[in-house]
């Protein structure tokens, strides 16, 4: 009876070892695949969303122009882009310095930061 228990235990240990080895290889394979095939984690392509939902695609050029209501004498001092989804625009002149966060995917301003003079 003791030999059968030992054999079952040995088989269970070997089986778990094999499962651990296979699981580790799958994890390494997934990591290598994701590193070698990077994907933008921002907003999805409008055509893909339209195909998945069965609706009409709204392309960025269909959203119209963005008009900033800034006072006269305002100048853009710098731009910083975050992927394909956001743009930070630093403005000076026409009042206190400020930064505007522009959502490029939806063509709208999502935030304003004003630096007190």
Contact (Cβ atoms closer than 8 angstroms) between residue 107 and residue 60: yes
Domain assignment present for 12: no
Domain assignment present for 104: yes
**What sign does the dihedral 61-113-91-67 (CA atoms) show?**
positive
**Domain total of the chain:** 1
Domain assignment present for 96: yes
Model pLDDT for residues 15-36, shown as the tens digit of each residue: 999 999 999 999 999 999 999 9
For residue 60, pLDDT over 90 is answered with: no
pTM of the model: 0.44
Domain assignment present for 87: yes
Residue 69: domain span: 61-114
Domain assignment present for 17: no
Domain assignment present for 109: yes
Domain assignment present for 90: yes
User: What was the pLDDT predicted at 17?
Assistant: 97
Residue 69 per-residue DSSP state: -
Domain assignment present for 36: no
Model pLDDT for residues 83-109, shown as the tens digit of each residue: 778 889 999 888 888 999 988 888 888
């Amino acid at each position: 009876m003791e030999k059968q228990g030992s054999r079952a235990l040995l088989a269970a240990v070997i089986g778990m070892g094999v499962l651990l080895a296979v699981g580790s290889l799958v994890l390494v394979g997934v990591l290598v695949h994701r590193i070698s095939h990077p994907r933008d984690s921002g907003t999805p392509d409008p055509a893909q969303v339209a195909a998945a939902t069965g609706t009409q695609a709204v392309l960025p050029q269909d959203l119209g122009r963005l008009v900033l209501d800034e006072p006269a004498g305002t100048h853009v001092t710098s731009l910083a882009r975050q992927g394909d989804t956001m743009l930070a625009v630093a403005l000076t002149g026409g009042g206190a310095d400020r930064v505007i966060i522009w959502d490029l995917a939806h063509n709208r301003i999502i935030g304003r930061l004003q630096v007190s003079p």
